[in-house]
Amino acid sequence: MIHQQTTGFKNQLKDILKRYPKSSSEISNDIAQLPQVGDVQYPGFGKSNSFFKHENGLAEYRLSASKGIRIVYAKGDERIVLITVYTHHDDIKESEVIERIRKGLKDITVSNIEPYPSPP
């Protein structure tokens, strides 16, 4: 499956990696394994939506999945588009996540996405 990222995701991930540099390879490997069993369908976009939320812990910082990062992605037949990423500590409201998804949708529809680099 091809992994692609929106510009917003790329910038948000860069910010997270500045705060959690020890987890860079863990996050990259986790993204490479998406989709994963247990990822929940993101609410608010209808039953047929293809948006999913993945939670991942950051072992190097002793953060469990419930306290670690959240990755929201769109899943298609042949590709996954990484839309937004944030941490539990960012204290982002649900309305902001929905707005980020909407912006990501605009990026997808105008093909403003790029390949996600494979982990080393």
Q: What is the pLDDT of residues 63-83, one digit of tens each?
A: 898 899 999 998 888 889 999
Per-residue DSSP letters for 27-70? HHHHHHT-S-TTPEEPTTS-TT--EEEEEE-BGGGTB-TTTSEE
pLDDT at 59 over 80: yes
Q: Within the chain, what is the greatest distance between any pair of CA atoms? A: 39
pLDDT, residue 106, reads 82
pTM to 2 decimals?
0.86
Range 73-98 average pLDDT: 89
pLDDT in tens, 34-58: 988 788 888 777 666 788 999 999 9
Strands 69-75 vs 2-6: parallel, antiparallel or unpaired: unpaired
Check pLDDT > 90 for residue 84: yes
6, burial (CB in 10 Å: exposed 0-12, middle 13-18, buried 19+): buried
Domains of the chain: 2-115 (3.30.2310.20)
Percentage of the chain modeled with pLDDT above 90: 38
Which is more confidently placed, 36 or 116? Answer: 36
* The pLDDT of residue 69: 93
Residue 12, pLDDT above cutoff 90: yes
